[in-house]
Structure 1
Amino acid sequence: MKKSRHSIHFILLVSFFIPFLHVNAVFAQETVSEVIPGGQSIGVKLHTSGVVVVGFSPVNTDDGKVSSAEKAGVEIGDIILQVNGEKIKDMETFIDKIKGIEQENDPVQLLIKRQEHIFPLSFQPVYDSKDEAYRLGLFIRDASAGIGTLTFYDPESKSYGALGHIIMDHQTKKPIDIYNGKIVSSDITSINKGQNGAPGEKKARFSMDDKSLGTIQKNSEYGIFGKLKNPSYFNDLRDPIPVAKANEVKEGKAKILTVVKDDKIEEYDVEIINSAPSKNPETKGMVIKITDKELLDETGGIVQGMSGSPIIQDGKLVGAVTHVFLNDPTSGYGVHVEWMLNEAGLEIETDQETEKEAS
């Protein structure tokens, strides 16, 4: 089997790696008949709106260990949007605001976002005699990072799609409500092979201080989406290829594009075991199986960090790898590219539209 090789410099996120929450960015709808397939690995960093509660830090008091925030009803996964009426943009502004609270015995009012609900919570901080300060009893953070794979790029709109699934917080196990984010270059350092009951993963190196290659404007069930700032950096971008609607995908042989070693995109053989010809968006519309011996030897099958790897059948981009089966790492789910394109504000051009333009 002949492999096509192209040098790359990035790392992409895996479906079962870290899911994120839906951001209601609205993209103008455009029609496309072809896009450039990805396969590059990318580093991904998301910033939340406010700060996220990831745990509790009980304070030692005369009555035992107490977290006043937890006692008041704050839950892991909550997003703190305001403290005493002041907007919290990030960790730095939260810490600055809390410094004043630590010196006073006044009630604290938080504005909390929990899923789709926003509401206030007021409670009294607890005095920590050891630190001689008032504490809320919270562990918080404001960003998440991981790796994945670029699925497609549209040179006309500069829109891209990656991952093929939503990014979840690995600590809270909930979708991440993002404020903004960016993708950067990344280098794969090693592979942990997948085994039954234990999914493998790509190990990668990247710095979030690196120059942004693109924005992350949307995190949905179908992946992350935004605009590439410097497409020329991806010096391995291929020529555009046609895209297929969900009902055009059939069972049978196909290929995926992904990076396993040497920062090179390669083609690997897979088989589409099942494809649901749904007219409605479906996050797990395909079942795929890795059949390529070279890829199986390197990874054991589908591994974390492979999410977003483009699936190509009969010269058309048909979908992206998303999830692995825990009891069979050689197989997993894929999402149809039609639904990813829709999330990016791109609609597959119909034959009627093509004929109209030609005339």
Structure 2
Amino acid sequence: MQKTTRQKMTGLFLTLIITTVLLGTQIQKLLTIPSHQFLSVGDPLELNLLLPKQVLNNLEINIHSKDFGKMHLKGNAAVNTVMNQSSPVFSTPGEFKMEFKLFGLIPLRQMVVNVVPPINVVPGGQSIGVLLHSQGVIVVGKSSIVDSRGKKSNPAEDAGIIVGDIIQKINGKPVKTDSQMRDQIESLGKKGQKIVLEIKRQKHVFKTTIKPIYCQETKRYRIGLFIRDSAAGVGTLTFYEPKSKKYGALGHVITDIDTAQEIDLADGKIIGASIEDIRPGKKGQPGEKIGIFKGDSELIGNITQNTQFGIFGHLQKKINNPIYNKTLPIALSGQVHEGSAQILTVLDGNKIESFDIKIEQVTPQSRPEGKGLVIKVTDKRLLEKTGGIVQGMSGSPIIQNNKFVGAVTHVFVNDPTKGFGVLAEWMLMEAGLIPDTVNNSTNLKVG
């Protein structure tokens, strides 16, 4: 009897191994499920996995929440879940951990589903002028100084300062503007005093001492640097959330034009802008919108964050979108699909228009990432006018099936008809409209 039992167990074990090997390619599809996914309350979980019957018939799913208990799905229930015929409905906000098993024994994949309250936003598309001040001044170049004896030198370079460094303090006092720093150097130079600079280089902060030199050419005391304290440009508003008055724009971080360094935000604002001309994009040469800031615009807000997902802040007045007369729901990443979509942007003056695009790729992401979408412009009029995606179009909202799904961020330099987009959920998480459960996820034990 023991021999028979051992034979049965051995046979079952061999069957499991052989079946797993034979179905390895199909099972790989389960591994493409992101380890984290957001879901709005009441929406079905759309996994849309077209798996063979051999896998589906032997698939089991455990769902566990520390607040709402456990659910075990097998057979038809599991099949309906992955085939999206009768997906389980998550009717309460919370965090749910799902575990996929084959034959109830072989673990295949785990994922965390974060169920969040429904969020509706006003889609943007308006052109905006962006004015940003950095924390300190940014070193954007160096220049040798010719002293009264005709000798060339650069004391800042000798002290180890490089392009991209941020000067935060001079003699212990915060530096806020480039003019403030020039005046300080002039004043201390006249007194024959050295200056102590506090420098930030990426995440490292250090101090260095420099003695200003009188420049024969400019008739001022200098240390040999070109500096800048601000950045300005034209972009596109992405969304506005009426209850909190929060907005998001651009979809990517603002960097200094000369150093490509991320600007540490001190303060800033956005105002309305009017597009006066378009320089079309070509292969290897990105195009751009040419706009002017409108000081009398009703669209005005502060900038409180400059992040990899764009700039964020609060608008002083509510805004409307002339194409959509009501707010749109958010499409979370699991609801975004390859296929037709639209972008909202301005090509002339301040008129928002809708243009056709195709979402060519949706990348499952378990961590915040600004390139979750690959898009292609298909609208003939937009292609004729711009050649595709141009600078100033960053932040243009992407709409699919009357839902806000993300924003345009970058253009493919060698193919301006294509570009990247950021998923809406990452922008809303950055704005604090969706809980940051990805970075603060609790460890749940599956029973």
Same-fold status (TM-score > 0.5): yes
Shift of 1:186: 0.8
Q: Measured at CA, do residues 164 and 302 of structure 1 come closer, stay the same or move farther in structure 2, by a change above 3 Å?
A: same
Task: Provide Cα deviations, 1:181-225, integer angstroms capped at 9, x if missing partner.
Answer: 000111100001111111111000116797870010000001000
Shift of 1:89: 2.0
Shift of 1:40: 0.4
Unaligned stretches of 5+ in structure 2?
A: 1-115, 437-447
The 5 A counterparts of 1:296-315 are: 296-315=383-402
SS in 1 for 2:411: strand
Give the counterpart of 1:224 among 311, 319, 325.
311
Q: Measured at CA, do residues 134 and 348 of structure 1 come closer, stay the same or move farther in structure 2, by a change above 3 Å?
A: closer
Task: Provide Cα deviations, 1:277-319, integer angstroms capped at 9, x if missing partner.
Answer: 2232221111000011111111111111000001111111001
Alignment check: 8 A CA contact 1:78 1:114 kept = yes
Alignment RMSD: 2.2
Give the counterpart of 1:45 among 131, 154, 170.
131
Aligned to 1:161: 248
SS in 1 for 2:260: coil
Alignment check: 8 A CA contact 1:244 1:318 kept = yes
Q: Measured at CA, do residues 133 and 232 of structure 1 come closer, stay the same or move farther in structure 2, by a change above 3 Å?
A: closer
Task: Provide Cα deviations, 1:24-75, integer angstroms capped at 9, x if missing partner.
Answer: xxxxxx9552111100000000001121111112111447421101110111
Shift of 1:344: 0.3
Tell whether 2:146 aligns with 1:60: yes
Q: Measured at CA, do residues 345 and 262 of structure 1 come closer, stay the same or move farther in structure 2, by a change above 3 Å?
A: same
Unaligned stretches of 5+ in structure 1?
A: 1-29, 350-359
Give the counterpart of 1:34 among 120, 126, 150.
120
- For residues 237 and 105 of structure 1, the distance between their equivalents in structure 2, rounded to whole angstroms, comes to 64
- After alignment, is 80-89 or 128-137 more displaced? 128-137
Alignment check: 8 A CA contact 1:270 1:289 kept = yes
Q: Measured at CA, do residues 34 and 348 of structure 1 come closer, stay the same or move farther in structure 2, by a change above 3 Å?
A: farther
Give the counterpart of 1:120 among 202, 207, 214.
207
Q: Which has the higher contact order (CA 8 A, sep 6+)?
A: 1
Shift of 1:171: 1.1
Tell whether 2:161 aligns with 1:74: yes
SS in 1 for 2:190: coil
- For residues 219 and 346 of structure 2, the distance between their equivalents in structure 1, rounded to whole angstroms, comes to 52
TM-score using structure 2 length: 0.68
The 5 A counterparts of 1:183-222 are: 183-206=270-293, 213-222=300-309
Tell whether 2:264 aligns with 1:177: yes
Q: Measured at CA, do residues 79 and 195 of structure 1 come closer, stay the same or move farther in structure 2, by a change above 3 Å?
A: same
Task: Provide Cα deviations, 1:314-337, integer angstroms capped at 9, x if missing partner.
Answer: 111001001111111111111101
TM-score using structure 1 length: 0.84
Shift of 1:92: 3.6
- For residues 52 and 344 of structure 1, the distance between their equivalents in structure 2, rounded to whole angstroms, comes to 26
Aligned to 2:377: 290
- For residues 252 and 107 of structure 1, the distance between their equivalents in structure 2, rounded to whole angstroms, comes to 63
Shift of 1:86: 1.8
Alignment check: 8 A CA contact 1:307 1:321 kept = yes
The 5 A counterparts of 1:208-357 are: 213-232=300-319, 238-347=325-434
Shift of 1:131: 5.3
- For residues 387 and 287 of structure 2, the distance between their equivalents in structure 1, rounded to whole angstroms, comes to 8
- For residues 240 and 280 of structure 2, the distance between their equivalents in structure 1, rounded to whole angstroms, comes to 29
- For residues 321 and 336 of structure 2, the distance between their equivalents in structure 1, rounded to whole angstroms, comes to 28
Alignment check: 8 A CA contact 2:238 2:396 kept = yes
Task: Provide Cα deviations, 1:210-246, integer angstroms capped at 9, x if missing partner.
Answer: 7870010000001000011122587887411110111
- For residues 288 and 212 of structure 1, the distance between their equivalents in structure 2, rounded to whole angstroms, comes to 28
**Aligned residues with identical type, % of pairs:** 49
SS in 2 for 1:169: coil
SS in 1 for 2:331: coil
Q: Measured at CA, do residues 112 and 31 of structure 1 come closer, stay the same or move farther in structure 2, by a change above 3 Å?
A: farther
- For residues 180 and 299 of structure 2, the distance between their equivalents in structure 1, rounded to whole angstroms, comes to 23
Structure label with greater radius of gyration: 2
Aligned to 2:228: 141
- For residues 116 and 211 of structure 1, the distance between their equivalents in structure 2, rounded to whole angstroms, comes to 38
Letter in structure 2 aligned against 1:82: K
Structure number with higher helix proportion = 2
- For residues 247 and 256 of structure 2, the distance between their equivalents in structure 1, rounded to whole angstroms, comes to 22
Shift of 1:140: 1.2
- For residues 137 and 335 of structure 1, the distance between their equivalents in structure 2, rounded to whole angstroms, comes to 40
